[in-house]
Amino acid sequence: MEVLVRLVALLVVLLLGTGLRAIGVLTAGRTARLNAVAYYVALPALIVVSTYDRAIDDLLSPALLGGLLVVLFGTAGLAWVVHRGRESNGRRSVAIVQSYHSNLGYLGLPLVAATFDGAVTAIASVVLGVVSLMQVPLTILVLTSLNGAEAAVGDELRSLLTNPVLASLLVGLSIGSVGLAVPGPVVAGLDAVGSLALPLALLCVGASLRVDLPSIDVGATAAVVALKIGCMPMLAWVVFSALAVDPATFAASVVMLGTPTAVSTYVFASELGGDTAFASLNVFATTVASIGTLFVLIELVG
DSSP alpha helix (H) spans, the chain: 2-22, 28-37, 43-51, 56-59, 62-82, 89-98, 109-115, 118-147, 153-161, 164-178, 184-194, 197-208, 218-226, 232-242, 247-257, 264-271, 276-301
Tell me how crowded residue 116 is: count the other CB atoms within 10 A of its CB. 20
Q: Based on the structure, what is the number of domains in the chain?
A: 1
User: For position 238, what pLDDT does the model report?
Assistant: 97
Contacts of residue 225, defined as CB under 8 A and 6 or more positions apart, other chains included, come to: 282, 285, 286, 289
Cβ atoms of 289 and 233 closer than 8 Å: no
Domain that holds residue 237: 2-294
> What is residue 72's predicted lDDT score, i.e. its pLDDT?
97
* Residue 98 domain-assigned (yes or no): yes
What pLDDT does 273 receive? 85
Residue 152 lies in a domain: yes
- Residue 299 domain-assigned (yes or no): no
Question: What's the rounded Cα separation, in Å, for the pair 285 and 211?
Answer: 9
pLDDT tens sequence for the chain (302 residues): 567 777 778 778 888 988 898 898 888 888 888 888 888 898 889 889 888 888 887 888 999 999 999 999 999 999 999 999 887 888 999 999 999 999 998 889 988 988 899 899 999 999 999 999 899 889 988 998 888 766 555 566 666 666 787 888 888 888 888 888 888 888 899 889 988 887 887 888 788 777 666 567 788 999 999 999 999 999 999 999 999 999 999 999 999 999 999 988 988 888 888 888 888 889 888 988 998 899 899 999 97
Report yes or no: 59 and 121 within 8 Å, Cβ to Cβ.
no
Q: Residue 62 sits in a domain of what CATH number?
A: 1.20.1530.20
For every residue of 263-284, DSSP letters joined together read THHHHHHHHTT--HHHHHHHHH
| pTM: predicted TM-score of the whole model, two decimal places | 0.87
| Residue 302 placed within a domain | no
54 assigned to some structural domain: yes
**Does the residue 300 lie in any domain?**
no
Q: Which residues of 142-154 are buried (b: 16+ CB within 10 A; e: fewer)?
A: bbbebbebebeee
The answer to the question of residue 232 being in a domain is: yes
In a domain, residue 281? The reply is yes
